[in-house]
A = this chain, B = another copy of it.
Amino acid sequence: MANSIGNIFRFTIWGQSHAPAIGVTMEGLPAGIKIDQEKLQSFLDRRRPGQNKYSTPRKESDTAEFIAGLNPDGLTCGSPVTAVIKNSNTKSSDYSELEYIPRPGHSDYPAMIRYGAGRDFAGGGQFSGRLTAPLCIAGGVCLQILEAMNIRISARAVMIGGKTEETAMLEAIENARAEGDSVGGIVECVIEGLPAGIGEPMFDGMESRIAQTVFGIPAVKGVEFGNGFGCAALRGSENNDAFSYNGGSVITKTNNHGGILGGITSSMPIVFRAAFKPTPSIAKEQDSININTAENVKLSVKGRHDPCIVLRAVPCVEAAAAAAVYDEILMAKASGFEAF
> Which DSSP category, helix, strand, loop or mixed, fits chain A's interface?
mixed
Q: In the complex, what residue of chain B is closest to A213 when comparing beta carbons?
A: B203
> In the complex, what residue of chain B is closest to A66 when comparing beta carbons?
B20
Chain B nearest CB from A88 CB (Å) reads: 13
The distance in angstroms between the C-alpha atoms of A291 and B116, with both chains bound, is 41
Q: Are B243 and A289 in contact (CB under 8 A)?
A: yes
Bound together, the chains give a CA A162 to CA B239 distance in angstroms of 13
* A110 nearest CB across to chain B (Å): 4
Instruction: Tell whether, in the assembled complex, residue A227 and residue B335 are in contact, meaning their CB atoms are under 8 Å apart.
Output: no
Interface size on A, residues (CB 8 A): 163
The answer on a CB contact under 8 Å between A8 and B5 is no
Is A215 in contact with B211, judged by CB distance below 8 angstroms? yes
Q: How far is the CA of A199 from the CA of B240 in the complex (A)?
A: 36
Name the interface residues of A249-286: CB closer than 8 Å to any CB of B.
250, 252-253, 256-258, 261-266, 273, 275-282, 284, 286
Within 8 Å by CB of A231, from B184, B250, B296, lies B184
Task: Known contacts A127-B201, A203-B4, A279-B236; decide if A110 and B261 are in contact (CB<8 Å).
Answer: yes
Q: Which of A36-44, A49-57, A73-81, A147-155 contacts B (4 or more CB under 8 A)?
A: A73-81
